Structure 1
């Protein structure tokens, strides 16, 4: 069954987890444009995407805005509580949610959702807790691969992709 909501962490999933600093002390993040297609595919199917990240940086908000992601939560300390609140708002259960995360702060939510995943370069103790581990590393298309796996498992990947050819 397709999820009714897809939640994603950012650092270590959409980025390589690195923090890049300019000489002036500004922080930069590197995103893969491949992951944007995952959002587009989900939007085509009417499945909302929510970003939940512990970081509180406008870089992530700017990426969310560019991709027209309505639900973007920055500085999240308790992802389970935030996910439950969003599920109440959308009138769905955590069983109807897919989540991709990569580290300790993601584990509680990874354990509760209907479908969980992590990137290839995630620590082993996280990988052991999820249903799917991407071949891609975080920052190199892991989110898109996760979305494509969801769509493939539900028999809608080819039809969805063909709409953009």
Structure 2
């Protein structure tokens, strides 16, 4: 792994679909849908918090299931329906008096690409459709929805 200054990481940003989920929606005949979340990823939020690293959800999808999961995990910073994730990260830099190098981000698709290129530690799950155009600092062994966020958090925590 490239020389990453993990001790400088103060915020962990994460996409949801394709990272915390397998990127699939399960629709009922009535048009409702469900998502499945791994409990491993939920535990990662608690582990990061023990090291004073906040988790920030930045998702382009505006979904009640994501709100419910964030609420359950007591994630204070939730940005859904977010079209420009890099712009959101820049506003978080101002809010927390940080630089992009103080952030880690795990994402998996084109709408994550610009932010992945700018943060101090970038990560993608192995099932990401954009691995052919961008190589992050780290590619998880676990697929999205199977504990990819937990692995990402474990890598950060094992280096601080």
Instruction: Verify same fold: TM over 0.5.
Output: yes
- How many residue pairs are counted as aligned between the two chains? 153
How many Å apart are 1:90 and its aligned residue? 0.7
Question: Equivalent residues in 2 for 1:1-165 (5 A)?
Answer: 1-2=6-7, 3-123=9-129, 124-125=131-132, 128-154=134-160
Structure 2 residue runs without a partner (length 5+): 1-5
3-state DSSP class of the match of 1:125? Answer: coil
Cα offset for 1:141?
0.2
Q: TM-score, normalised by structure 2?
A: 0.93
* Aligned-partner Cα distance in 2 for 1:71–1:87: 13
**CA apart distance, 1:143:** 0.1
Post-superposition offset of 1:131: 0.2
TM-score, scaled relative to structure 1: 0.90
What's the RMSD between the two structures over aligned residues?
A: 0.9
Which consecutive residues of structure 1, in runs of 5 or more, have no partner in the other structure? 155-165
Query: Structure 1 residue 23: deviation in Å?
Result: 1.7
Partner secondary structure for residue 12 of structure 1: coil
Runs of 4 or more above 4 Å deviation: none
**Cα deviation digits, residues 77-130 of structure 1 (max 9, x gap):** 00000111111101111010000000111000000000000011112225x430
